[in-house]
Amino acid sequence: MNPREANTIDRRRFLVVTAAAGGALLVGLHADDASAKTRKHAKPPPAAAPVRPNELAAWIRINRDNSIEIAIPRQEMGQGVSTSLMMLLVDELDGDVARVTTYQAEANQKYGPQGTGGSQSIKQSWVPLREAAATARAMLLQAASLTLKVPVQDLTVDKGVITHAPSRRSLRYGELAAAAASLPKPENVATKSKEQRKLIGKPMRKRETRDVVRGVQLYGIDFKLPGMLVGMIERTPVPGARPRYDAAAAMRIAGVVKIFEVPAVADKPLFIRGGVAVLARDTWSAMQARHALNVTWDGGNANEESTLVAAKQAEAVQRPGAQFASFGDIDGALTIPDLVAVAAEYEMPMLAHATMEPMNCTVQINKDGTVQGWGPSQNPVRAQQTIAKLLGLDQAKVTFQPLVMGGGLGRRSNSDFAGEAALLARQADGAPVKLLWTREDDFRFDHYHPMTRAKVEAWTTKDGSLVAWRHHLASTPVGSMFALAPGTGPAAFESAGIGDGFLYDAPNASFRFSGVETATPRWWWRGVSWVYNVFAVESAIDELANALNQDPLAYREQLLSRTKQVTRVQKHARGDEEIVLDHARMTKVMQEATQRIGWNYQPGPGRGMGLAVYEYDGSYAAIAAEIAVDAKAGMQVKRIVAAADVGTIVNPLALEAQIVGGVIFGLSSSLRERITIEKGRVAQANYGDYEVARMPDIPPIEVILLENGAAPTGAGELAVPGVAPALANAIFAATEIRVRKTPFYAARPELKPAV
């Protein structure tokens, strides 16, 4: 998943309420008043299409029959966002959930941010969606007051019905929709207090669950149109390679329509490899023809090896690097006598997204010059822009309808597959084309989580006071995939959880970055740079505790108790931003997790417990793990407890599912997953050689949800970063083997998985 949408709706937005055909009431946001507000670790915003004046983002449509239609501007990929955003709107509206239908909004900047990643959907929607619904509710009450000729304060509303109890008269929202739309819009309507809410905070099952389990949920890969062709591409395995192939043999396959070459496109952040394409009337014919092409490749950059990239990173962290944050005076601090020091390096490999549904997209070029696109995209506006750019069209001529995703994990926030579909559709003479990737394509031509190496040096006094911290991160940076704005370096994409976001109160610190370039494309992955930065920080904190002969839990409590919070100013090219790290909330999640697991650092022979605590863009989490290691039976993760504080909880069921899913995702990458490059090519092609967690790897997982009155923050990626350090720390407690490299089973063969 990607870290941020850089544009969000601030207090200067204003709502528009209007009538629609048939007497419906529409409520939404006036798009040309939306303004941008930057946040920590934001990525550069995509180029925006001009917004037409008075365009309305109709989140809510109330029909005369009392039904309510809600447009969901964020993208559904199993996380339940369509249910959670519906809850925000219907709760404030006092509507009837049974009368609500939701639909995925098309790509259109009138809806505000539509990119779905970085755990931002609830966080960014919390205020504007509730304000829209509260405004609609106030106008409906006013319309009822005028119709019934009674004061507003004498009216009550429940499930879309407004009642005047003294006269026993009632009106449904649908009866009032047209009248309400004609009223002046009230200003500054208050949203509900916690005590007034009826849906927010209550468990609700995902609305699409029934369709998913019955096998009728429509995913992008299921999408069909009359006369549709299926397209597949035999992609260039290494940049610059030239194909030789047997087009005649492929054309002899029944159902094949066309064979042609697709050009490579390297236009940051877009990266399309190019290759040889097949258009056919069905999937099987396209697959057979692709095989019959018998493509061989000449030339290209086949020199890259992941082992060489790792060696370059090992060299890079020994050099000065580029400093991106610093506090105090490390050299002066190191004159303090009798300091306890720790120095270590921590490594993570490239990782695949491995979504259950391979990449796909459907595009049709119409005779009138307009283009339609359909597909599973985390960023439908970016997909729309990519299609328009590659076809040389104005963005206004392209529509894009996002479809439900079979997993996103950051991968589908890129739009390379939408661009490929557009290039294939250009050769289809007006027929719609569905581009399909195979599982092997998905592994070999992914945009990968970067390979990283962090060198950490830390010093404390003998009583445990953290004196100085020196941190040097080397990465194959995601930032290099972008045309960065002046003054923005790649480190801005890699530094979450360190630098100005460093959790602990280190009075003297230096954070440096070295980019090690690679021809292999990189992209955001669930947990983004917190994954490798939390691994390094929380492993090193454990190593400090061990050097001081202290319990790791007690040592963290000591460090976090020294200040209630850490406030720093993070500098960006776009301006300064204050970051507040709340140590009280951090301590609370840590204590809850360790109490639940029954913290005992070394509970017995061959058993150990490990801990990791961290902040993720305003959310706080602690992961406590217990493992058992036996020389004959192998290693088994016995139990994991995850505690999370995300402020106000919208849907506890969805939140718990996100935390459990994040833990499993973190377990899989920590124990088994890695991508390796050999002779310029990705060596892994399917689940047989890209290992993911198996059922025996997954222990009982317990989730503790802490709530406070703060505005909600994100949870989709929250649990992932803490798993690797918690496991590594538990392994050390059980075996005194310090594991500083993932995946653990490959890095330390003696830690074989339990049979």
Distance CA 613, CA 40 (A): 19
**Same domain assignment for residues 98 and 206:** yes
Q: CA nearest 687: which of 659, 668, 670?
A: 668
Q: Which two tokens stand for residue 405?
A: 């995703």
CA 739 from centroid of its chain's CA atoms: 27
- The confidence score (pLDDT) of residue 109 equals 80
Residue 256: strand, helix, or coil: strand
Task: Specify the DSSP element, H or E, that contains 68.
Answer: strand 68-72
- If one compares 371 and 750, the residue with the highest pLDDT of the two is 371
Percentage of residues in the chain with pLDDT exceeding 90?
75
Let me know whether 139 and 269 are in one domain.
Answer: no
Q: What strands lie across the sheet with 256-262, from one edge to the other?
A: 256-262, 275-280, 229-235, 433-436, 360-365, 371-375, 398-402
Is residue 608 within 8 Å of residue 78, measured between CB atoms? Answer: no
Query: Where a domain ends, among 383, 414, 436?
Result: 436
Q: What tokens were used for 498?
A: 């360190």
Tell me, yes or no, whether 312 lies in a domain: no
The total domain count for the chain is 3
Residue for token digits 């299921």?
222
Question: What pLDDT sits at residue 209?
Answer: 86
Average pLDDT over residues 209-215: 89
- Report residue 116 as tokens: 């779905």
- By three-state DSSP, how is residue 613 classified? strand
Work out whether the CA dihedral 229, 235, 241, 247 comes out positive or negative.
negative
pLDDT recorded at residue 297:
96
End-of-domain residue from the set 211, 242, 263: 211
Angle between helices 380-391 and 416-425 (to 10 degrees): 40
Query: Of the candidates 418, 410, 367, which has an alpha carbon nearest to the alpha carbon of residue 220?
Result: 418
Peptide bond before 50: cis, by omega within 30 degrees of 0? no
76 shares its domain with 166: yes
- Cα separation, 555 vs 544, whole angstroms: 9
Contact 727, 611 (CB under 8 A): no
Q: Hey, which residues does 728 pair with through a beta bridge?
A: none
Using CB atoms within 10 A of its CB, is residue 54 exposed (0-12), middle (13-18) or buried (19+)? exposed
Percent of the chain surpassing pLDDT 70: 90
The verdict on 176 and 198 lying in the same domain is yes
Verify that 696 and 738 share a domain, yes or no. yes
- Residue 35: predicted pLDDT: 30
Q: Let me know if residue 311 belongs to a domain.
A: no
What's the half-sphere exposure (Cβ side, CA atoms, 13 Å) at 542? 29
Which amino acid, 309? Answer: V
DSSP bridge pairs for 164: 169
Mean pLDDT confidence for 88-112: 91
Alpha helices in 572-644 (DSSP H): 583-597
Q: What is the pLDDT of residue 576?
A: 61
Contact call for residues 450 and 475 (beta carbons, < 8 A):
yes
Interval 553-579 mean pLDDT: 75
Q: Which range, of 50-54, 329-333, 336-340, 649-653, averages the lowest pLDDT?
A: 50-54
Q: Would you state the pLDDT for residue 5?
A: 34
Residue 308 is assigned to a structural domain of this protein: no
Conformation bin of residue 634: beta by default, left when phi > 0, alpha when psi is -120 to 50: left
Predicted confidence (pLDDT) at residue 443 exceeds the cutoff of 70: yes
First to last CA, the chain: 33
What is each CA distance from 65 to 93, 174, 639, 689, in whole angstroms? 16, 5, 51, 56
> Full-prediction pTM beyond 0.95?
no
CA contacts within 13 A on the Cβ side of 659: 27
Q: What's the domain range around 143?
A: 3-211
Residue 90 has pLDDT above 50, yes or no: yes
Q: Please name the residue that has the structure tokens 């390796």.
A: 676
- pLDDT at site 45: 28
| 4-13, 162-171, 501-510: range with lowest mean pLDDT | 4-13
Contact (Cβ atoms closer than 8 angstroms) between residue 111 and residue 105: yes
Torsions phi, psi of 737, nearest 5?
-95, 120
In a domain? residue 242 = yes
Domain annotation covers residue 716 = yes
pLDDT grade for 16, boundaries at 50, 70 and 90: low
How crowded is the C-beta side of 569, counted as CA atoms within 13 Å? 4
Locate all alpha helices (DSSP H) within 317-351, ordered by sequence.
Answer: 330-333
Buried b / exposed e over 579-609, threshold 16 CB at 10 Å, is bebbbebbbbbbbbbbebbebebebeeebbb
Give the span between the Cα atoms of 584 and 563, in whole angstroms.
9
Average pLDDT in the chain: 90
Q: Residue 305 domain-assigned?
A: no
SS3 597: helix
CB atoms within 10 A of CB 216: 10
**Average pLDDT of the residues in 307-330:** 96
Type of residue found at 104: Q
Answer yes or no: do 580 and 607 share one domain: yes
Please report, as a single letter, which amino acid is at residue 647: G
Q: Looking at the structure, tell me whether residues 516 and 575 fall in a common domain.
A: yes
Q: CATH code at 560? A: 3.30.365.10
As a whole number of Å, the CA-based R_g of the chain is 27
> For helices 552-561 and 530-547, what crossing angle results, to 10°?
110
Whether residues 145 and 233 share a domain: the answer is: no
Residue where the block lists tokens 């049974």: 98
Neighbour tally for 197: CB within 10 Å = 18
Are 99 and 71 in contact by the 8 Å Cβ rule? The answer is no
247 shares its domain with 140? no
Answer yes or no: do 548 and 647 share one domain. Answer: yes
Provide the pLDDT for residue 571.
52
Other CB atoms within 10 Å distance of the CB of residue 733: 24
Give the max Cα distance, the chain.
85
Query: Do both 399 and 516 map to the same domain?
Result: no
Average pLDDT over residues 153-174: 96
Write the pLDDT tens digit of every residue in 580-626. 889 999 999 999 999 999 999 888 889 999 999 999 988 999 999 99
Q: Give the chain's length.
A: 755
418 domain residue, yes or no:
yes
CB 497, CB 565: distance < 8 Å: no
Residue 441 lies in a domain: no
Per-residue confidence (pLDDT) for residue 4, from 0 to 100: 34
- One domain for residues 252 and 398: yes
The residue among 109, 57, 91 whose CA lies nearest residue 650 is 91
C-alpha dist (Å) from residue 474 to 318, 346, 511, 616, 634: 10, 10, 11, 21, 33
CB 633 within 8 A of CB 755: yes
Q: Where is the domain boundary, 163, 180, 211?
A: 211
Buried residues in 56-95 as b, exposed as e (16+ CB within 10 A): bbbbbbbbbebbbbbbbbbbbbbbbbbbbbbbbbbbbbbb
- What one-character-per-residue DSSP string does 446-514 give? --BBPPEEEEEEEEE-TT--EEEEEEEEEE--GGGGS-PPTT--THHHH-TTSGGG-SS--SEEEEEEE
The b/e string for 296-323 (b: 16+ C-beta within 10 A; e otherwise) is: ebeebebebebeebbebbeebbeeebee
